[in-house]
Amino acid sequence: MGEEEIIKLIKSKSQAVAENLLLTPELTKIKEQIEKFLDQNLKGDGLLSLRYRKFKLPNKQRTLWSDTSGFPIGGENWIKPYIDFFEQYITEKKIVNRLEDEKLWVESRTRGNEQHLLIGDKQNDGQKVHLVFGETGEIRIDKKDQPPAEVFRKVESVLTKSDGDTVKSTLEFFRDKVD
């Protein structure tokens, strides 16, 4: 199952899980589908992957007990960690958008609360500008990339708060020395 199918599965069964309406084999099947997705996608040395690896240690058995009528005892608490890991995976997933024209390419990468904006000149040999917009409105330049003044003059960030107020942040670059 892919990411979208897991999202639909969780949404469609969440109320039944909360009300303990699924039989133990049905709840077990849902957990196995989520677990299979997590096993395939949470690999490597990222913090979430490491937490998941520790969660899955064999000495941490998570047994699901059933009552005499076949319904799970504590089923919601039993499946909750798997749903939580899946939701964290979705939250931390990187979103990439890319635009191009004849001269420039622009790529936006969103991960968590930061947006990375990469801008490159197609005539240049792989050089790019890498700006990082933080959740507080700050604009940073990645240290390993070229100065933005080579590509553009000014960068602005506008954040709109929940009450409608806006916070603007500007970073200007000058080619000539200012006296």
pLDDT at residue 41, rounded to an integer: 92
Q: Mean pLDDT in each 10-residue stretch from start to end of the chain (179 residues)? A: 91 95 96 96 90 87 91 95 91 74 79 74 71 69 61 65 76 53
Do 105 and 160 have their domain in common? yes
Separation between Cα atoms, residue 20 and residue 11, nearest integer Å: 15
Q: How many domains does the chain have?
A: 2
Tokens 């799970």, residue?
72
Tokens 């200007």, residue?
172
Residue 146: give the domain boundaries: 95-172
Do 37 and 99 have their domain in common? no
Beta-carbon contacts of 85 under 8 Å, excluding residues fewer than 6 positions away, are 38, 42, 48, 51, 52, 55
**Domain-embedded: residue 69:** yes
Do 101 and 165 have their domain in common? yes
Do 102 and 84 have their domain in common? no
CA 91 to chain centre: 4
| Residue where one domain finishes, among candidates 92, 124, 142 | 92
pLDDT at residue 27, rounded to an integer: 97
Do 86 and 104 have their domain in common? no
Do 101 and 53 have their domain in common? no
**Domain-embedded: residue 177:** no
Do 86 and 8 have their domain in common? yes
pLDDT at residue 132, rounded to an integer: 77
**Domain-embedded: residue 29:** yes
Range list of H helices, the chain: 3-18, 24-41, 47-55, 75-92
pLDDT at residue 153, rounded to an integer: 60
Do 141 and 155 have their domain in common? yes
**Domain-embedded: residue 14:** yes
pLDDT at residue 177, rounded to an integer: 47
pLDDT at residue 96, rounded to an integer: 67
What is the identity of the amino acid at 133? F
